[in-house]
Amino acid sequence: MLLISGLLSQTGTRDYEDELKYQTRAINQLKTEIDRLHSKIRSTDKKMETAASRLSNLDEELALINQLINQLKDQEKRTRAKIDITKKDIDASEVELKNLRERYAKRIQSTYKRGQLSSLEKVFSSATWRQAVYRSEYLDIISDIETKMAKRINTLIINISRQKLELEIALRENLKLTREKESQHKRVRDTKIRRKKELYSLKKDKKALASYIEEKRAGLKQMETLIKTILEDKARFEREERIRRQQQVLKTKEFKKLKTRLPWPAEGRIIAKFGRQWNPKLKTTTENPGIDIKGKPGSPIRPVMNGVVTTITYIRGYGTTIIIDHGSGFYSVYSHVTNIQTHVDSEVRTGDVIAYMGDSGSINGSKLHFEIWGKGQKLDPEKWLAKKK
């Protein structure tokens, strides 16, 4: 299971080169995970593979590719910013160089036209001892200015050459990122076509649907294990302090004091409630650890309260999933999302857009699967969300 780290640093302290290395590592991590998935798919016995597992594999592949595209977009954005800054630096340096060269040329022309005495002759021609001292000091200053001017001209020439080299590298990197992003977009289109065919086959076959329910059950166990891991993570103590400071700054109450008053994470209507759900088609009962909200595809998903993002991952049957720590042992879960706008370890606030509604891991179109966990227990989100007017 891949826990996808964010690329855009929340600390704001890393410089461009550090950020580029950080993003490159994350992109390579995603590429490795995609290769791992492909190897797994290739090694699976096609005769034993079910439509449900094929659909889950395609969903996971789509989730990973979309994450990769977002990472590439972030890196492309930073590279473009670097290009813009470098161009401005080159323009400023060239303007300064031009002005210095003109001033330096005028001084040389002036000296040549006037046929001025040498510095030593000027000192000896002084009428008094005091005038000789003044002239000597003045000439030293002029000489020092000219020396500094010449050095600055040389420095600017070297800097402009270096800046132009940096610009060339950044332009090549930006072109490479753009091409790779376009290639990944094509992969998404192709994978979606394959997914659509598998989904059509799945919905026609009752046995395949039953198999998909098993995928959901496996995903539920995966979610429970993940929450348990997060609760046992030593980093949660540091997050608790960050969340406490965040609540003080934003003047918000603790999660447990906001029962029945939390804002909705997305616009839409509830199509699956918390708890045991009866499937009349398959005549089976399944456990829903949260609620499912049906809304418009691409509509924004927002956190129900401020907190720290602990996890962005893919869970079979639930698709791309975001988990947010709200402190005091409370967590919220957002599944089936797409086009993620946040990153692991980033601080988020109520109202921030963290993703958009999608169909990642869903066989019923775009929706949001939403969960609330408190002290390691699944809670009914409807009892925590504000009543709609």
How do residues 192-235 score in pLDDT, each as one tens digit? 888 888 787 777 777 777 777 777 888 888 898 999 899 888 88
- Please say whether the beta carbons of 260 and 380 come within 8 A: no
Q: Which two tokens stand for residue 16?
A: 């461009």
pLDDT digits (tens, 9 = 90+) for 144-183: 666 777 788 888 888 888 888 888 888 888 888 888 888 8
Strand pairing report for 377-379 and 367-374: antiparallel
Domain extent listing, the chain:
12-204, 235-389
- The CA distance from 247 to 257, in Å, is 13
pLDDT digits (tens, 9 = 90+) for 331-343: 999 999 998 999 8
Architecture label for domain 235-389: Distorted Sandwich (2.70)
Nearest CA-CA partner of 52 in 193, 188, 194, 207:
207
- Please say whether the beta carbons of 212 and 317 come within 8 A: yes
Nearest CA-CA partner of 310 in 292, 290, 334, 289:
334
Query: Is the backbone of residue 140 left (phi > 0), alpha (psi -120 to 50) or beta?
Result: alpha
- The CA distance from 8 to 14, in Å, is 10
- Please say whether the beta carbons of 352 and 303 come within 8 A: yes
Range of weakest confidence among 125-129, 152-156, 382-386: 125-129
On average, the pLDDT of the chain sits at 81
Name residue, tokens 């804002």: 263
| pLDDT higher than 70, residue 39 | yes
Q: What percent of the chain has pLDDT over 70?
A: 82
Name residue, tokens 């704001």: 12
| pLDDT higher than 50, residue 121 | no
Q: Which two tokens stand for residue 122?
A: 């000027």
pLDDT value of residue 349: 94
3-class DSSP string for the chain: CCECCCCCCCCCCCCHHHHHHHHHHHHHHHHHHHHHHHHHHHHCCCCCCCHHHHHHHHHHHHHHHHHHHHHHHHHHHHHHHHHHHHHHHHHHHHHHHHHHHHHHHHHHHHHHHHCCCCHHHHHHCCCCHHHHHHHHHHHHHHHHHHHHHHHHHHHHHHHHHHHHHHHHHHHHHHHHHHHHHHHHHHHHHHHHHHHHHHHHHHHHCHHHHHHHHHHHHHHHHHHHHHHHHHHHCCHHHHHHHHHHHHHHHHCCCCHHHHCCCECCCCCCEEEECCEEEEECCCCEEEEECCEEEECCCCCEECCCCCEEEEEEEEECCCEEEEEEEEECCEEEEEECEECCCCCCCCEECCCCCCEEEECCCCCCCCEEEEEEEECCEEECHHHCECCCC
Strand pairing report for 367-374 and 330-335: antiparallel
Q: Which CATH class is domain 12-204?
A: mainly alpha
Residue 355, exposed/middle/buried by CB under 10 A (0-12, 13-18, 19+)? buried
pLDDT band at 64 (very low <50, low <70, confident <90, very high): confident
The one-letter code for the residue type at 205 is D
Identical fold for domains 12-204 and 235-389, yes or no, is no
| pLDDT higher than 80, residue 369 | yes
Query: Is the backbone of residue 375 left (phi > 0), alpha (psi -120 to 50) or beta?
Result: left
pLDDT digits (tens, 9 = 90+) for 284-323: 778 899 999 999 999 999 999 999 999 999 998 899 999 9
